[in-house]
Amino acid sequence: MLARRIVPCLDVRDGQVVKGLRFRDHVVMGGIEELALRYRDEGADELVFYDITASPEGRRVDRGWVERVARIIDIPFCVAGGIRSVEDARAVLNAGADKVSINSPALERPGLIDELAGAFGVQCVVVGVDSLKDEDGEWRVRQYTGDPAKTKAPGRRTLDWVREVQDRGAGEIVLNCMGSDGAKSGFDLEQLAAVRAACRVPLVASGGAGTIAHFIEVFRVADVDAALAASVFHSGSVPIPELKSRLRAAGIEVRHE
Amino acid sequence: MIEASLVAGPRLDASRIRLVLLDSGGANLGSVQAAFARLGVEAAVTDDAQRIRAATHVILPGVGAAGPAMARLRANGLDRLIPTLTQPLMGICVGMQLLFEHSAEGDTGCLGLLPGRVERLPESPGLRVPHMGWNRLEAASPEAAAHPLMDGLDGRHAYFVHSFACHGDANALATCAHGAPFTAIAARGHVMGAQCHPERSAATGARLLANFLSL
């Protein structure tokens, strides 16, 4: 039986891992390789590296650290941020990343998803979706969320976008619920369950993890394939070994060595 | 060598191993190379027939689609060379799928070194395709569990990411459940395959690669 995955997300800015509350006020958490190895040793199932400034600044991901991470870790990892073309993705995949994740560039030009799936196969194409509930009660996507000054609301309904990206060839979807991100009050179960119902590819929950109980409920209630978090892992407030043993005790299949 | 002992696998004598990775054009060549480097074994990427024949162990990696990977093997003549090899040969992921007779992905004729056909994984509510993540290797039989390639692997989690696989393969050493069980590890004489990605399967993957090199 396929195990549910625990995925630490490392937001990368200027060659270091950073974290901020609700996407703002970033503080340095440590070096990229140092944190990658720490999480691998603690039993993380996969890592996501998000170059949070590449997309709003129009820069590409630096290949150097991708190559170094690929050499030292033996679990899969995904690189996000600043991938706008098949050539950008090829550089990151050839540097050793297992998957690429696209978010704002997919909203700019949805055909990019088709191109990436055609060139590399759907299994390495992840689409990140930043989503927020509007005043009318509808969930809609956000763009360029790495920089609050540049964040835009292009008006697309989240559920429509989730269906479209799958049809275009997304092999996995990461749903970042911005309303709960950084607040540590739990994943947005209502939104995740709604997206789950519209999603036939693996779905990764992101935004809001604060306690071990939040992980148990997101797998039970929203039936997601993986749960992604950053600060609770960086701070050590949710230790991954303890998280996995509690998930196992709750009857949720997880990997253990 | 140090890492090999850490995963409690066989002791490897790297000086006796001449390992080559066949160039099937996949993006995971570097990751597979790095996985062997962590075991203390250097792996050269090549499509040179003489060098491949002189190797003690041959790996056929693969990421992407079966059609382009097979086209690449035909273009560099490896489709004719591979069936003549006699040393331990292991295909990884799409590289394994190419060892079967046929793949439904792009209706691709493959190498035919393992009897069987590669089909798309069945999709149903709760059963997502691609099959992406960590799943348990289950020995196909007590005899399969005793195969040296399977040493220490039964019941452990390996990392998978694929949409196609072979079902009901007589040469399966380990199967894995995602709907109907599919072949996760296979061996027929010197021809072996792993549908999982050992280079991204932590200690389980290192053990599988070390077991292969000990053959």
Beta-bridge mates of residue A49: A10, A79
Question: Would strands B172-178 and B180-188 be described as parallel, antiparallel, or unpaired?
Answer: antiparallel
The continuous run of DSSP H or E covering A196 comes out as helix A189-197
Beta-bridge mates of residue A141: A131
- The confidence band for B74, taking pLDDT boundaries of 50, 70 and 90, is very high
pLDDT at A28: 82
Residue environment code for A38-54, b if the CB has 16+ CB neighbours within 10 A, otherwise e: bbbebbbbbbbbbbbbb
**Is residue B19 scored above 90 in pLDDT?**
yes
Q: Is A244 within 8 Å of chain B by CB?
A: no
Read off the pLDDT of residues B35-57 as tens digits, 9 standing for 90 and up. Answer: 999 999 999 999 999 999 999 99
| Rg of chain B (C-alpha set) | 16
Question: Would strands A5-13 and A226-229 be described as parallel, antiparallel, or unpaired?
Answer: parallel
Note if A11 is an active site residue.
yes
Query: In terms of Cα–Cα distance, which of A194, A193, A201 is closest to A223?
Result: A193
pLDDT at B105: 92
Q: Is A83 within 8 Å of chain B by CB?
A: no
**Is residue B152 scored above 90 in pLDDT?**
yes
The string of DSSP letters for B115-144 reads SSEEEEPP-BTTB-SSEEEEEE-EESSHHH
Q: Domain limits at B110?
A: 4-214
For residues B42 and B20, give the distance between their C-alpha atoms in angstroms, rounded to a whole number: 9
Consecutive sets of 10 residues in chain A, 257 residues long: mean pLDDT of each?
95 82 69 94 96 69 87 95 91 90 95 94 93 96 84 93 98 95 92 97 96 98 96 93 98 91
Token pair for B149 = 């390639």
Q: Mean pLDDT in chain B?
A: 92
pLDDT at B126: 81
pLDDT at B133: 97
- The confidence band for B5, taking pLDDT boundaries of 50, 70 and 90, is very low
Residues 11-70 of A with CB under 8 A from B: 40, 45-46, 67, 70
pLDDT at B27: 66
Domain with B54 in it: what CATH number? Answer: 3.40.50.880
Higher-scoring residue by pLDDT: B164, B6: B164
Q: Is B136 within 8 Å of chain A by CB?
A: yes
Q: What are phi and psi of B177, to 5 degrees?
A: -95, 120
Question: Domain total for chain B?
Answer: 1
pLDDT at B6: 46
pLDDT at B8: 65
Q: How far is A58 from chain B (nearest CA, A)?
A: 25
What's the whole-model pTM score?
0.92
Find, in chain A, the residue whose alpha carbon is nearest to that of B34: A71
**Is residue B99 scored above 80 in pLDDT?**
yes
